[in-house]
Structure 1
Amino acid sequence: MDLNLRDIRAFIAVAQTGNFTRAAAQLHLSQPALTVQIRRLEETVGARLFDRNSRNVALTPTGRELLPVLQKSLYDMEHVLLDARALGDGSTGTVRVACLPSFAASLLPDLIRAFKHDFPRVRFHIRDVVAGMVNTLVRNEEVDVGLTGGELSDSALEVLHVGEDRLVVVCPQDHPLARKRRITLKDLVSVPLVLTARGTSVRAVVDAALANAHCTPEVSCEPTYMMTAVAMVRGGLGVTILPGSAREVLAEPNLVARPIDEPAFVRPIALIRKRGRTLSPATEAFVAVLLQRLERESAMRLR
């Protein structure tokens, strides 16, 4: 017969009160029911745990040695149950997210801070990587959800939200393009461009738009990170094209952003998960917050 929590609680209550009547009242049990639990525990252990007579109840030597062991076991088991319930109700756990660096720097910090205000025990594991790697991490279940860019054709991935991010030109305040309200394709091919490296979602959109328009730009540099592209623009190496939502766009006070007057310069974005996989309650709760934010921003762009 295995030990159970009710029998352990009964033993500890009798040991602490030294009285079956008081222990039964403390546990909201009848005295006969408490007696049955103690007898069952003694049968499981194979030894008498209490010496009792009409006046008092005392622990036997076996009972004295067993008391601290069972107290620790009860404490550990109760905390295991509390932790399990917390995982079940979403108040604790780990949320694993892969996303484009632009979203990791702009969208996630405020959302995570607000979420942790309500669920301080929830931990976050963030992978800020290019779009292709976001998809791979979700597909391989190394993360639970991904915020990615570009078109999706992978049947293993379920799309939870589809939106778009318009691209803008970032240039110095004294650059000729800064005087224009909107930038055309002709403007883009007339100046050196600092473009993020091939394999990034922004570069894929830019290359496709320029190729479809049969334009061949002058590419001066191809950094991997948007912040590096911004630094190169500041250094006079050209102008860059970034998502309008990217925090890097506003990182330099001497640079300005101008919209591109071409519909092709739009980066598709999607919130994805592995198809057929159950998310943890904590992740489900965070996804709901993230979806609300994405849908609100999509609605604002349509105004």
Structure 2
Amino acid sequence: MNFSLRQLRGFLAVAEHASFTKAAAQLHVTQAGLSAMVREFEQTVGCRLFERSTRAVLLTDAGRTLLPVAQRTVDELGETMRQLAAANKPRARVLRVGVTPLIASSILPQVLRAYAEAQPEWRVEVADMDRGLIQQGVEDGTLDAGFGAFFQKTAGMRRRGLFPAELVLAQPATLAPKTRRAPLSWQRLDPASLIVLPPSNPIQQLIDRHVPSMPDAAQSTARRVYSHLETLLAMVEAGLGQAVVPSFAALTGTRWRVTLRDLTPRVALDYAIVTRSGRRDSAGLNAFADCLRAAAQPA
């Protein structure tokens, strides 16, 4: 017995609608073509499946016997085909990365859009978190890579610069243009005017090695300390002081109206990627790093 899935579907459509006209419209075929298909199917089966009249098309006893079997066959075959297609469809590979908040809140949306276009077979899961938590996630394997200004060399970790940066002075945008453009010596900084990160923060530790020292008593009372670079920039915008920050703060654009002024001598503070030592970078990770690096380039 030789019949087709197309014939089974034609038989089921006519049985459902009790009409060749409606069944043909559902299957997107002509009524004449559907009638011929059903006749061929009846010839293959060896009996009539429908009683045709000018008023209705009704199933015969043979048609009613065949109906549940045909429906089950079509359903099971369709489900099997879907399962086979899903099994053979390439699954999206997952890349888990941690990114420091300043970059995550500025250029990360741009990076993710570019990455989705360039690497559709990869799905990125991004955690925006503090540098220390990112490094911990890379160490314990919950993150494939971390991005930020990392300082301390840790056993089992590999650090590479992603794009160059340096320490600069964030000042209110209301300063005179000439003042904004002129580089400032570290020795001319007024430490009492600075809004700072906690002493345990590696960025602040690097800053403190270059800022003129204050008496311990004055330092404990004069310093305004906040945990995040974003807070420092907001305070500077409000005219509450100035702050030494990494130059990649410029990537925030107009989010905070501050001026970033060069400090001399230059103190490098590159933005970096950290991964576990001995672990080969995936093509997805390399592409993500390329997108992040490209987004950080000056327009």
Q: Structure 1 residues 56, 130: CA separation in 2 closer, same or farther (over 3 Å shift)?
A: same
Shift of 1:291: 5.5
Displacement of 1:156 after TM fit?
Answer: 1.9
Q: Paired residue for 2:288, among 274, 286, 293?
A: 286
**Contact 1:97–1:127 at 8 Å: present in 2 too?**
yes
| Equivalent residue, structure 2, for 1:216 | 214
Aligned to 1:26: none
Question: Structure 1 CA distance, aligned partners of 2:135 and 2:171?
Answer: 31
In the TM superposition, what whole-angstrom CA distance separates every residue of 1:245-295 from its partner, at most 9, and x where no partner exists? 113474333x322111123x322432122234466654443234446667x
**1:209 counterpart SS class:** coil
Work out whether 1:230 is the aligned partner of 2:233: yes
1:197 alignment counterpart: 198
Contact 2:170 2:242 in 1 (8 A): yes
Secondary structure of the 2:127 match is strand
| Match in the other structure for 1:77 | 84
Contact 1:104 1:128 in 2 (8 A): yes
Equivalent runs, 1:151-170 vs 2, <5 Å: 151-161=151-161, 163-170=163-170
Distance in 1 (alpha carbons) for counterparts of 2:260 and 2:196: 15
Give CA deviations for 1:148-204 in whole Å, capped at 9, x if unaligned: 213242232233545542111111245599726112223223542101234444323
The 10-residue stretch of structure 1 (198-207 or 107-116) with the greater mean CA deviation from structure 2: 198-207
Question: 1:183: which partner in 2?
Answer: 184
Aligned to 1:23: none
**8 Å contact 2:114–2:291 — kept in the other structure?**
no
AA partner of residue 148 (structure 2): T
1:190 and 1:177 mapped to 2: Cα distance?
A: 23
Aligned residues: 238
- CA contact 2:162–2:293 (8 Å) conserved in 1: no
SS of the aligned residue for 1:168 comes to strand
More displaced stretch, 284-293 vs 163-172: 284-293
Give the conservation status (yes or no) of the 8 Å contact 1:165–1:244: yes
Any unmatched runs of 5+ in structure 1?
A: 1-12, 20-54
The one-letter code sitting in structure 1 at the alignment partner of 2:44 is: N
Deviation digits for residues 65-88 of structure 1, max 9, x if unmatched?
344223202212212311xx2x3x
Which residue is 1:269 aligned to?
Answer: 271
- Give the distance between the partners of 2:75 and 2:133, measured in 1 at CA: 52
Q: 1:166 to 1:249 in 2, by over 3 A?
A: farther
Tell me if the contact between 2:95 and 2:284 (Cα under 8 Å) persists in the aligned partners: yes
CA contact (8 A) 1:98 1:126 kept: yes
Quote the Cα distance in structure 2 between the aligned partners of 1:278 and 1:77: 32
- Alignment correspondent of 2:24: none
1:122-137 alignment runs, 5 A limit: 122-137=122-137
Equivalent pair of 1:158/1:275 in contact (CA under 8 Å): yes
Describe the shift of the 1:169–1:148 C-alpha distance in structure 2 as closer, same or farther (beyond 3 A): same
Deviation at 1:126, TM superposition (A): 1.8
1:115 aligns with 115
Secondary structure of 2:209 counterpart: helix
- Which residue number in structure 1 is paired with residue 44 of structure 2? 56
| Contact 2:159–2:275 (CA under 8 A) maintained in structure 1 | yes
User: Out of 241, 255, 262, which is 1:251 matched to?
Assistant: 255
Q: Secondary structure at the match of 2:208?
A: helix
Aligned equivalents of 1:190 and 1:287: distance in 2?
36
Deviation, 1:16, is 0.8
Q: Aligned AA for 1:70?
A: L
TM-score (norm 2): 0.64
Q: TM-score when scaled to structure 1? A: 0.63
- Rate the CA distance shift 1:177–1:285 in 2: closer, same or farther, 3 A: closer
Structure 2: state its 5+ residue gaps: 9-42, 47-65
- Equivalent-residue separation in structure 2 for 1:61 and 1:150 (angstroms): 67
1:68 to 70, 75, 97: 75
- Secondary structure of the equivalent of 1:139? helix
RMSD between aligned alpha carbons? 3.7
Kept after mapping to 2: 8 A contact 1:226/1:248: no
Higher-Rg structure is: 2
> What per-residue deviation string (whole Å, max 9, x for no partner) do you get for residues 115-162 of structure 1?
223445744322222222221111122221111213242232233545
